[in-house]
Structure 1
Amino acid sequence: MRQPPGFVDPQQPDSVCKLHKSLYGLKQAPRQWFNKLTTFLQLQGFGFSRSDPSLLIFHKNHIQIYFLIYVDDFLVTGNDCFTINHILGQLQEQFALKKLGQISLFLGIQVIRSSTGYFLTQEHYASKILHDAGYADCKPAPTPLATNSKTAQTSTAPFHDPTLYRKLAGSLQYLSITRPDIAFATNTVCQHMQNPTDQDFKTLKRILHYVKGTITYGFPITTGPLELRAYTDADWASDASDRKSISGFCTFLGPNLISWTVKKQATVAKCSTEAEYRSLSSALSDVIWLRRLAEELQIPQPNPTIIHCDNTSAIAIAKNPVFHARTKHIEIDYHFIRQHINSNTVRLSHISSNDQIADILTKPFSFTRFNELRTKLNIRPSNA
Structure 2
Amino acid sequence: MTQPPGFVSSSSPHHVCKLQKALYGLKQAPRAWYYTFSKFLLSQGFVNSHYDNSLFIHKTSTTITVLLMYVDDILLIGNSPSHLQALIHQMHSAFAMQESGDLSYFLGISIQAMGDTYFLSQSKYASEILLKAGMTSCKPCPTPMSMKPVDTLAANLPFHQPQLYRSLVGALQYLTLTRPDFSFAVNQACQYMHAPTNAYFALLKPILRFVQVSLSHGLTFCPSSFELQVFSDSNWTGDTIDHKSTSGYCVFLGSNLISWSAKKQPTVSRSSTEVEYRSLAHATAELSWLQMLLHDLSLPLVTTPLLLCDNLSAIALASNHVFHTGSKHIEVDCHFIRDKIASKKLLLHYIPSAEQITDVFTKPLSVARFQYLQSKLLVTSPPISLQGDDKTSSALAVAAELSS
- TM-score of the superposed pair, with normalisation by structure 2: 0.91
Structure 2 distance, partners of 1:50, 1:263, is 25
- Rounded to whole Å, the distance in 1 between the matches of 2:185 and 2:228 is 26
Calculate the aligned-residue CA RMSD, in Å.
1.7
Q: Which residue of 1 aligns with 2:38?
A: 38
What is the percentage of aligned positions where both structures have the same residue?
45
Counterpart of 1:335?
335
What pairs up with 1:1-384 in 2 under 5 angstroms?
1-3=1-3, 8=9, 10=11, 18-149=18-149, 153-156=152-155, 157-330=157-330, 332-383=332-383
Q: Give yes or no for contact 2:278–2:334 (8 Å, CA) kept in 1.
A: no
Contact 2:30 2:71 survives alignment (8 Å): yes
Cα separation, 1, equivalents of 2:334 and 2:93: 54
**1: CA distance between counterparts of 2:292 and 2:238?**
33
Q: Please, which moves more after superposition, 151-160 or 252-261?
A: 151-160
> In the TM superposition, what is the alpha-carbon distance from 1:16 to its structure 2 partner?
5.1
Task: Give the alignment's TM-score, normalised by structure 1.
Answer: 0.96
For 1:202 and 1:3, the matched residues in 2 are separated by 47
Matched position secondary structure for 1:330? coil
Amino acid at match of 1:379: V
Residues 57 and 9 of structure 1: CA distance in aligned 2, closer, same or farther (over 3 Å): farther
C-alpha deviation, 1:111, in angstroms: 0.4
1:178 partner SS:
coil
Cα distance per residue 1:223-250 (max 9 Å; x no partner): 0101111000000000000000000000
- Give the whole-Å Cα distance in 2 for the aligned partners of 1:193 and 1:7: 40
Letter paired with 1:352: P
Give 1:81's aligned amino acid. Answer: P
Q: How many residues align?
A: 382
SS of equivalent residue, structure 1 residue 215: coil
CA shift in 2, pair 1:186/1:205, >3 Å:
same
Question: 1:291: how far off?
Answer: 0.4
Q: Distance in 1 between matches of 2:10 and 2:56?
A: 45
Q: CA deviation at 1:295?
A: 0.8
Quick one: distance in 2 between partners of 1:124 and 1:320? 50
Cα contact 2:165–2:196 (8 A) shared by 1: yes
Query: Secondary structure in 1 aligned to 2:201?
Result: helix
Give deviations 1:24-56, integer Å, cap 9, x for gaps.
Answer: 232221111111101001000001001100000
Return the offset for 1:351.
0.2
Query: Which of structures 1 and 2 has the larger relative contact order (alpha carbons within 8 angstroms, sep 6+)?
Result: 2
Structure 1 spans left out of the alignment, 5+ residues: none
Bigger drift between 16-25 and 272-281 goes to: 16-25
Shift in Å, 1:302: 4.0
Partner SS, residue 127 of structure 1: helix
Instruction: Show CA shifts across 1:287-306 (max 9, x none).
Output: 00000001111111243210
Report Cα offsets for 1:270-302 as digits up to 9, x if no partner.
Answer: 000000000000000000000000111111124
Alignment partner of 2:241: what SS?
coil
Provide closer, same or farther for how the CA distance between residues 16 and 301 of structure 1 changes in structure 2, counting only shifts above 3 A: same
| Alpha carbons of structure 1 residues 368 and 43: separation in structure 2 relative to 1, 3 Å | same
Contact 1:216 1:381 in 2 (8 A): yes
Structure 2 SS opposite 1:174:
helix
Secondary structure at 2:112 match in 1: strand
- Alpha-carbon distance in 1 for matches of 2:174, 2:15: 44
